[in-house]
Structure formats: C-alpha cells, structure tokens
A and B are shown apart, each in its own frame.
Chain A
Amino acid sequence: MRGIWAVFKKETGIYFHSFIFYFFGLVYLFILGLIFSLVFIVYATQLPMRAQMAGGNLPTVNTYILRPVFGDMGFLLILFLPFYTMRLLAEERRHGTLELLFTSPITPAQVVLGKFLASFTLFIAITSIPIFYCFILDYFGDVDWLPILSTYLGIFLLGGSLIALGLFFSSITNNQLIAAVLTLGGYLLFWIIGWMGQSGATATLFRYLSIYEHYEPFTQGLIDTQDVFYYFSLIFLWLFLTYRSLESQGWR
C-alpha cells in the first residue's frame, strides 16, 4: 500500500506540472462545452416546434441534450486519452527513472496500480466538470438525474478501461508518440469492432468485444452487470498485461 501511495502522489504531482495535461484538459473541456452549447441552442430554437409535434409535451432535456452530449463525450475520450496516458511509463523508461523504481523496494504491481489510480483519479476530476451542464439545465428545466448518474458510471468505467489500455502501450516503448499512436489504434479497434460482421455468432462476439456497445446502455440509464463486468475485465486484463510487461524487464 505504501508503494502504491508513493507512486500515486508522485504521479499526480507530475501531471499538475505537465503542460500537456492542462492543454488537453482545456481543449477537451472546450470542445465538450462547444458541443453542449450547440446542442442547447438547437434544442431551444426548435422547442416550440417540437412541443407542437409532441402534442404539448415538452421533449426532455435528457433525451435531446444530455444524451447526445455524453455520447460524444465517450468518443472524445478516445481522441484525447492517448495523449493523457502516453507518458505514464514511456517517459520513465526514456529518462531512466524506471531503473530507480525497479531498484527500490517496491513491486511492479505497486508501480502499475499507483500510476493507474493517479491517472484515473485525475480523469474523474476532469470528466466530472461537465456535470455543471446538468445543474444549468436543471435550473431551467427538469433533469432526470438517474440516467445522468448511470452515464457517469459508464464514463468512469469506459475511461478506466481506456486508461489501463493506454498504460499498457506506454509500458512497451520509450517513445511517447508511438505509445499514443498504438493506444489510439487500440481504442479505435475496440470502438468499431462491433460494426464488423452482420449476423451470427461472430457478429455477437464482435459486438460483445466492442467498448461502445457496452457504453451505450449507460447513457440510456441502464446499468447491466454484464456491462460492468466487461469493463472491469478489460481494466484487469490491461493492468495485468502492463504488470507482466514490467516484470519481464529483468529478462530483457
């Protein structure tokens, strides 16, 4: 536990010192804010027409604003997270600090968990900022909070598994850019794999593997244990592979 905490503290400190963290954090939030504003404006201008079409019932902000915004949030993560995770281990390898970690009385598992938890915690902090959109909408309209909470659970699980995958690719190279490109490739593969195959067992398998297919139900307010299990398995798998990759360091 001591080792995990030490790595966690160091890692969060380094994130706060790094330019790339602020840059991508701000760009991510800016783009998301832009999407929210556009969707909100379209919703507001079409409101009378939609209300008329729906026979006097106002379309909910959940369906017309928050679901599209949070759906895009998932895809935006795929574009931004590779740059967030690329330095985690590649930089340590490049600067020789991995040698410091591995000649200290801490285990590779503690290094992996410390790093994962640090980047996951900061990820939660950044992705929680857009919850203010919901407060703004709640002030003017009626927000159904349960789907919002389930969406956030989905985002955290999705983010956790993407960070774990990024951590793995960062462990196999000392070049941050290569780590980022490999991570992006991995994300896209897991995102679009569900589109492969039309029907039958292969299509079902591809859909099961797709990271998007498991994220979608959360945005609709559905929490399925299968989806939760899927993300936990992915997190475990990538963290385990990262651990093995670091452990094999001694044999290289």
Chain B
Amino acid sequence: MVKAKNIVKKFGTRYALKGISFEVNERSVVGFLGPNGAGKTTTMRILTGYLTPTDGSAEVAGYDVERNPLQVKARVGYMPESPPIYAEMTVKEFLAFVADIKGIPPKNKRASIEKVIEETAIGDVQNRLIGRLSRGYRQRVGLAQSLIHDPQVLILDEPTAGLDPIQIHEIRELIKKLGQDRTVLLSTHILPEVTQTCTRAIIIHEGSILVEDTLSNLMQTLAGGLRVRLKVKRNPDSLLLKIQEMDEVRLVRCEDDSILVEFQRGKDKREEIADIAVKGNHGLLEFSTQALTLEEVFLKLTTEESL
C-alpha cells in the first residue's frame, strides 16, 4: 500500500533523509518511531506529496507520488503534527470546505461530514468556532479532516501530541479501530504509542532506518535472548550460584528482591530453572517471562548509532 524506495531529501546541504526504503502492507497500523529531528515528518510529507524527494521514489495506493500526485492525494488522509485548521471557521464549515477540496461529490458531502463527526466524537462542538476549541478537540477536528474522504491510507504525524491521558487513550483506540480496514502510518517519539496501537514499527534515526519489523520480532531479536524473573522465599543467593553454573545462561543478577536471568539467544532453560528452585526447596513465589521493553530497544538502537 505504501512503498518508499531509497528516498533522499536534502535541505540545502543538510541531509534530512539518507536513502530510506520501507513497505507498509494493507490494513495494518505501522509506527514510525524516532527521536525529534530523525526525519519522520519529512518522510510523511514526501509520502503525502507536500515535499518532493531529492532522490528516490515513493508509491502510495499504487500511484507514484511525483508522477500522479493528485491520485495519491485523493487516496491519502493526512494529519500534520499541528492540526491544520482555520480558527475563524466553525467545525462544520471547515469540514465542508475539506470535503470540497478532497473532491467529495455534493450529494455525499453531508453524509461524509456526519460520519466523521460521529467517528471522532465532535458532535457537541460542530457549530463552534475552531479557534475557541480546546487542544484535544482541535486534534480531533484535525483527525476528522483526514478521514472525511474515507482514504485508503491514513498518515498521522504525532497524533496524540499535547493531549491529556484520557484524550490520548481515546485517540489511540480510534486509530486501532481505523487500522482494521485501512493502512495507518503514524509517527511518534512516544514509545507506548507504538506498543499500544501498532503491529509493526519502523525505527528511524538521523535520516536512516535502523530497523523495521513486527513489534514482537523486534523485541525478541534485539533483546538478545529470553529473560525470566523469579522470586524465592529462601536462600536466593545459593539459587543464584546454581543458575550461574548452568550452560546457555548469559546473565544472572539480583534486582531488588528478585533474580533476573537472561538466556543466550534462541535458548530456553525455564523448565530447568523452575526445577532447581522447587527441588532445592527455595520456596518459589513468582516466575515470569520478561520482554525487553520498546524503550530499551529504542535506546539501545539510537544510542549505539550515535556513539
């Protein structure tokens, strides 16, 4: 649905994108993750036809962004980081204008406006001036304008920036719902956003893609190996020594009142460890598998790169 091939973007002498390539399939929510200034917004602006790449090409919904910009724009819904709104218009007037410029036929206009008003829950402010709305409502209006022409691809730049926790939760739920029947590409520097809404993640840093995979693969691959945390009632120190003697264990350490064990990549010794704890009468209280958090993956990747 979205294909980027070796996209380079230069602003003056500075490279904002250094040749990035990726693909996003139909009906998926993909997170575009990276620190501020990584090149997320530039990539999104190229995919929506707002900026022209210095080199490389992009294809959205089967159309080349440079050769068929109008075809692409008719199929993409885009919400920039600051919602593009006219403060002096009412919500309804604004959506009517967006419906016009998105090419919605007059006979479907009213229904399209009512549908997005309902989807984004802005019915109670539809006749108010946008300039008088709260940040959360403005964000929703921004989302509503991106959805009005029922686009195949939805590109959202930092969709929850500046919202309160309840609004963030609501917007994330909406994005998940929208991803069920269309392709959603969202950028963020907030990691829980990706874990809570996306199926895949593309991690970008200083204009290059560091890694692209499903969230579970990403965390498994980068974690180095499976991790378990166990808590025992008696003699944790002797248990720690016993585990250290095991082959295929990469790391064992005490953390608070628990023991953290990391296996070598592809190895799983959970059964043996549980056996040792039970047979050694250590009084096993807890035994859980720990995944490397996305924060850890992200930090690991971006820190390694910048070193």
Contact = CB atoms under 8 A, between A and B. Distances in A.
Contacts of B97: 6, 9-10
| B71, B80, B101: most-surrounded residue (chain A CB, <10 A) | B101
Measured as residues with beta carbon below 8 angstroms from the partner, the interface class of chain B is 20 to 34
B100 to A, nearest CB: 3
Contact of A99 (B84, B88, B98, B103): B84
A183 to B, nearest CB: 22
A14 B101 CA distance: 16
A103 B100 contact: no
B22 interface: no
Contacts of A97: 84-86
A172 to B, nearest CB: 18
B13 to A, nearest CB: 14
Interface stretch (B47-55, B169-177, B217-225, B242-250): B47-55
B51 A96 contact: no
A188 interface: no
A139 interface: no
A95 B84 contact: yes
B18 interface: no
B101 A96 contact: no
Interface in A209-238: none
B100 A2 contact: yes
B85 A95 contact: yes
A96 B78 CA distance: 13
A56 interface: no
Given A99-B50, A250-B50, A14 B86 contact: yes
Nearest to A114: B101
B215 interface: no
A5 B100 contact: yes
A115 to B, nearest CB: 13
A3 B98 CA distance: 10
A182 interface: no
A176 to B, nearest CB: 14
A81 interface: no
A106 B88 contact: no
Interface in B63-85: 70-71, 73-74, 76, 78, 80, 82-85
B93 interface: yes
B84 A104 contact: no
Nearest to B47: A103
A105 B102 contact: yes
A251 interface: yes
A104 B102 contact: yes
B89 A17 contact: yes
Interface string A94-115: 0111011111111100000000
A105 B89 contact: no
Interface in B253-300: none
Contacts of A45: none
User: What are the 8 tightest A-B residue pairs by CB atom distance, in nearest-first order?
Assistant: A6-B100, A100-B84, A250-B52, A17-B88, A105-B74, A105-B73, A103-B48, A104-B101
Given A95-B84, A105-B70, A251-B52, 18 more contacts: A3-B101, A10-B86, A13-B89, A95-B86, A95-B87, A96-B80, A96-B84, A99-B50, A99-B78, A100-B80, A102-B49, A103-B48, A103-B49, A103-B76, A104-B98, A105-B71, A106-B101, A252-B51
Interface of A: 2-3, 5-7, 9-10, 13-14, 17-18, 95-97, 99-107, 249-252
7 contacts: A95-B86, A96-B80, A103-B48, A103-B73, A105-B71, A250-B52, A251-B52
